[in-house]
Amino acid sequence: MSLYLGFDASTQRLTAIVLSIEPGERRVAFEASLRFDDDLPEYHTVNGVVPDDDPLVVRSSPLLWADALDRLMAVVARDSGLDLSGLQAISGSAQQHGSVYLTAAAAPALERLDPRRPLVEQLARVLARDRSPIWMDASTTAQCAAIEEAVGGPEALARLTGSRAFERFTGPQIRKFFETDPDGYARTERIHLVSSYLASLLAGAHAPVDPGDGAGTNLMDLAERRWAPAALHATAPGLAPRLPPIAPSWTVVGALAPYWQERYGLPPARVVVWSGDNPCSLIGTGIVRPGRVAISLGTSDTIFGYLTEPRVDPSGTSHVFGAPTGDWMSLICFRNGSLARERVRDAYGLDWGAFARALDATPPGNGGALMLPWFEPEITPQVLTPGVRRVGLDPADAAANVRAVVEAQMMAMRIHSAWMGERLEVIHATGGAAANRGILQVMADVFGAEVCPLDVPNSAVLGAALRACHAVTAVPGDRVPEVPLRTADVWERVLEGFVTPRSEATVRPRPEYVSVYAALTKAYAAREREARNR
Ligand code: XUL
């Protein structure tokens, strides 16, 4: 039996999944998860973060992540009931942007981990900083401005690294650490991302960062997939030697360290470089070739796009990361997702069934009526002062408002993903609201593309395990090819049976309404511009 293990270290939990892949049988053989607040209460986290008096400061504990990895590996070894001697490879996904600061004592400690003692005991003394800033931190506005200025402005930084400076990105966080704790920075020999830190623990040696997660730092040259000297200089002195190398996402870091083999009776499986949760989700939602995007309809709505060129968003609201296939991906986030749909549902006293019926009972295009659905401040486009605007839309007409909110969301997604310039054939739809066919029909008509609902509960952990499989089955020979593995067919074979769009549930665009929405989308874009210029 060939087994592949994937982890996902998200903000609130660590999840593991084991895939069993045999000729004729491809299945998820085991899944388990630890929730930090409940299962590791001694770290005193609340929703996975260590409470801080300053609401802008959001940190977690690198020891908590190591401890969770140790304990979850124990669960996999003890409870999976699988013959783990067949374990071929392990990879992982982690929350992006978070950083871990280690001293020079880390490398020898990693090499000599003692299987008789818990991991966490052996790591406490190698931390240069006992807290890790994570992606929810918003305390580095001054550092963002300084970095952007030093590289020639926000557009220049975005062209170089794929994103303008964002508070949560690693570069601004490193600059703040250097400014506020220069001694701690001086003690730091290696700065890991959460992904490369956890991969290092598994391999028993410092692991590289992949271009997917590297692009979430404001430090990586997006086109070249290497650290960008100008961005490093703008961030902190002596940064280059402190960063892990950047290596292709299919790199085998090494064998599983003796610590894990002896402690849990595991074989010397290959440890494959980890990536960020969004790049892993790109794989877990099947976006492995041009012409596809995934739209996740969750609390926020998110688009993952596939890019064959390292293009960047001229408006500066989206991010571009490396894709684990060797190409690039976009991440565009719309804050008023389910949040806005729920506000409309509740305002008219509907349930989801009545919401769906209202959508069915109204004509596509809504007779030209429009809503700007900014119930909360919006990320894309950036709207700091929320407020819902209605144009030709009767606030008392429940059904028309239901249609207006859904149409607005789909048109905004279309408008703000147009910069990608990729021809679109199919959209993989995930998330709770993807169960509503009426919403998917609006999506298909607005984008003029087929929409396939996808049934993948945790695309990040699945993507991580599939990446482990891909690295050891699809990469020829021992040498890691530097060139992108563009062969989408290879990826399709890896995904088979795990990421299969439900083709019987495909929703097709209807030409008569595609043209209605082409006109309405122009009108929507004009209203959006007007509202933002006011
Ligand atoms: C992406 C981002 C989050 C984190 C947390 O830029 O900040 O999606 O990766 O999961």
Residue from 388, 504, 487, 382 nearest 437 by CA: 504
Atom of ligand 1 nearest to the CA of 168: 7
Q: pLDDT tens across 15-58, in order?
A: 999 999 988 899 999 999 999 999 999 999 999 999 999 999 99
Q: CA-to-CA distance for 404 and 397, rounded, in angstroms?
A: 10
Atom of ligand 1 nearest to the CA of 460: 10
pLDDT computed for residue 481 by the predictor:
61
Residue from 449, 94, 128 nearest 279 by CA: 94
- pLDDT over threshold 80, residue 158: yes
Distance 64 CA to ligand 1 centre (A): 19
Mutate which of 36, 96, 134, 335 to test ligand 1's pocket (most atoms within 8 Å of Cβ)?
Answer: 96
pLDDT computed for residue 476 by the predictor:
61
Q: CA-to-CA distance for 330 and 379, rounded, in angstroms?
A: 15
Atom of ligand 1 nearest to the CA of 166: 6
DSSP string, 373-408: EESS-BTTTTBSS-EEEEES--TT-HHHHHHHHHHH
Distances (CA, A) of 504 to 92, 124, 429, 435, 494: 32, 53, 14, 14, 22
CATH architecture of 287-453+502-534: 2-Layer Sandwich (3.30)
Distance 81 CA to ligand 1 centre (A): 33
- Written as six digits, the tokens of 257 are 């360290």
Question: Using an 8 Å Cβ cutoff, are 330 and 308 in contact?
Answer: no
Average pLDDT, the chain: 95
Which residue's CA is the closest to the ligand 1 atom numbered 1?
Answer: 96
Q: Is the CB of 166 under 6 A from ligand 1?
A: no
Share of the chain above pLDDT 90, in %: 92
Q: Which residue has the tokens 């993903």?
A: 417
Residue scoring higher pLDDT (238 or 299): 238
Distance 370 CA to ligand 1 centre (A): 31
Domains 2-279 and 287-453+502-534 share a fold: yes
Question: Using an 8 Å Cβ cutoff, are 297 and 431 in contact?
Answer: yes
**Triad 92, 97, 98: Cα angle to 5°:** 80
Distance 195 CA to ligand 1 centre (A): 12
Which residue's CA is the closest to the ligand 1 atom numbered 7?
Answer: 135
Question: Using an 8 Å Cβ cutoff, are 448 and 509 in contact?
Answer: yes
Which residue's CA is the closest to the ligand 1 atom numbered 10?
Answer: 95
Q: Is the CB of 281 under 6 A from ligand 1?
A: no
Atom of ligand 1 nearest to the CA of 96: 9
Question: Using an 8 Å Cβ cutoff, are 243 and 171 in contact?
Answer: no
**Domain ranges within the chain, ordered by starting residue:** 2-279, 287-453+502-534
* Mean pLDDT, rounded, for 86-101: 98
Q: pLDDT tens across 472-514, in order?
A: 987 666 565 655 555 778 899 899 999 988 888 999 999 999 9
Residue from 152, 331, 324, 320 nearest 223 by CA: 320
Distances (CA, A) of 230 to 145, 168, 258, 360: 15, 20, 39, 54
Distance 330 CA to ligand 1 centre (A): 13
Question: Using an 8 Å Cβ cutoff, are 179 and 218 in contact?
Answer: no
- pLDDT over threshold 60, residue 132: yes
Atom of ligand 1 nearest to the CA of 276: 9
Q: Is the CB of 311 under 6 A from ligand 1?
A: no
Share of the chain above pLDDT 70, in %: 98
Distances (CA, A) of 80 to 31, 248, 255, 271, 461: 8, 31, 21, 20, 17
Question: Using an 8 Å Cβ cutoff, are 373 and 336 in contact?
Answer: yes
pLDDT computed for residue 486 by the predictor:
56
Report the DSSP beta bridge partners of residue 333: 302
Residue from 459, 405, 404 nearest 429 by CA: 459
Distance 304 CA to ligand 1 centre (A): 12
- pLDDT over threshold 90, residue 523: yes
Which residue's CA is the closest to the ligand 1 atom numbered 5?
Answer: 95
Question: Using an 8 Å Cβ cutoff, are 337 and 300 in contact?
Answer: yes
- Written as six digits, the tokens of 207 are 């692991």
Q: Is the CB of 95 under 6 A from ligand 1?
A: yes
Residue from 152, 145, 148, 100 nearest 126 by CA: 100
Q: Is the CB of 96 under 6 A from ligand 1?
A: yes
Q: pLDDT tens across 394-426, in order?
A: 999 999 999 999 999 999 999 999 999 988 999
Mutate which of 278, 296, 302, 333 to test ligand 1's pocket (most atoms within 8 Å of Cβ)?
Answer: 278
- Ranges of beta strands (E only) in 337-461 are 370-374, 387-391, 426-430, 450-453
pLDDT computed for residue 502 by the predictor:
81
Q: Which residue has the tokens 């997006």?
A: 222
Q: CA-to-CA distance for 356 and 358, rounded, in angstroms?
A: 5
* Mean pLDDT, rounded, for 108-113: 98
* Mean pLDDT, rounded, for 275-303: 95
Q: Is the CB of 278 under 6 A from ligand 1?
A: yes
pLDDT computed for residue 485 by the predictor:
56
Distance 13 CA to ligand 1 centre (A): 14
Q: What are phi and psi of 79, to 5 degrees?
A: -105, -10
Residue from 13, 489, 8, 5 nearest 281 by CA: 8
Of 145-149, 185-189, 313-317, the least confident: 313-317
- pLDDT over threshold 90, residue 233: yes
User: CATH code for 2-279?
Assistant: 3.30.420.40
Residue from 501, 482, 533 nearest 425 by CA: 501
Longest dimension (CA), the chain: 70
* Mean pLDDT, rounded, for 507-533: 96
Mutate which of 97, 136, 296, 300 to test ligand 1's pocket (most atoms within 8 Å of Cβ)?
Answer: 97
Provide CB contacts within 8 A for 68, sequence distance 6+: 9, 14, 34, 36, 39, 40
Q: Is the CB of 13 under 6 A from ligand 1?
A: no
pTM: 0.95
- Written as six digits, the tokens of 172 are 């601004």
pLDDT computed for residue 148 by the predictor:
98
pLDDT computed for residue 229 by the predictor:
98
Q: Is the CB of 218 under 6 A from ligand 1?
A: no
pLDDT computed for residue 17 by the predictor:
98
Burial category of 319 from C-beta neighbours within 10 Å (exposed 0-12, middle 13-18, buried 19 and up): buried
pLDDT computed for residue 483 by the predictor:
55
pLDDT computed for residue 343 by the predictor:
97
Distance 134 CA to ligand 1 centre (A): 9
Mutate which of 36, 140, 163, 168 to test ligand 1's pocket (most atoms within 8 Å of Cβ)?
Answer: 168
